[in-house]
Structure 1
Amino acid sequence: MIVRISTEGQYRLESTYLDQLNTIDNALVEAIAANDEERFQTLLRTMLDLVRQHGTPVAPDEFVESDIILPPPDTTFEEARELFAGEGLIPG
């Protein structure tokens, strides 16, 4: 699957990591609902690091559609309230 980190680029990531991303996504929704900004920042870093560490960057001149789009690393807590509403970024 192709995962985009906004402002950073795209990565090819094995679909076996989808469950881990979804677990982090759900925890992000919970952290935001609990107004826990520190936990939110930690979880966002964890999510982005998972993609960076296990994904392979897509070449800048290769154009492929993203399956998942993640927010940039500098996403504020207020911005996250809108992004992670409901089910979060990853359905399921």
Structure 2
Amino acid sequence: MIVRIMGEGQVQLDDSHFGELNKLDDELLAEMENGDGPGFRVTLTALLDKVRELGTALPDDALEPSELILPSPDASLDEVRDMLSDDGLIPG
């Protein structure tokens, strides 16, 4: 799966990693619902770091269709809230 991190680029990520990422996504959703700004920031950073760690960055000149779009590391709580579906940022 191709994942885009806004403002950074694309990462090729194997579907087998989504269980691990969904745990962080669930934490992020709970922090957003509780208005926990500091917790939200820590978990968003952890989620994006995990995507970078588990995935393979595509070259900057590659332009593949992204199946999943994640917010930039400096996105605000409100910006991320606007991106959410019922499942959070990561479906499943």
Query: What TM-score do you get using the length of structure 2 for normalisation?
Result: 0.89
The runs of at least 4 aligned residues of structure 1 exceeding 6 Å deviation read none
Taking the aligned partners of 1:70 and 1:14, their CA distance within structure 2 comes to: 16
SS in structure 2 at match of 1:49: helix
For residues 82 and 34 of structure 1, the distance between their equivalents in structure 2, rounded to whole angstroms, comes to 16
Give me the identity figure in percent.
39
Q: Deviations over 1:13-46 (max 9, x none)?
A: 1211111122211211111111111110011001
CA gap 1:67/1:85 in 2 versus in 1, 3 angstroms: closer
For structure 2, the 5+ residue unaligned runs are: none
Report the Cα distance in structure 1 between the residues aligned to 2:85 and 2:66, rounded to whole angstroms. Answer: 20
Greater CA drift, 50-59 or 4-13: 50-59
Counterpart of 1:59?
A: 59
- Shift, 1:85, TM fit: 5.2
- After superposition, the C-alpha distances for 1:33-88 in whole angstroms (9 at most, x for unaligned) are 11111110011001100111121111122221111110000001222222235321
Unaligned runs of 5+ in 1: none
SS in 2 for 1:4: strand
* Residues 1:5 and 2:5 are matched in the alignment: yes
Deviates more, 1:73-82 or 1:34-43: 73-82
Which residue of 1 is the match for residue 30 of structure 2? 30
1:48 match: 48
Q: CA RMSD in A?
A: 1.4
**Letter aligned with residue 6 of structure 1:** M
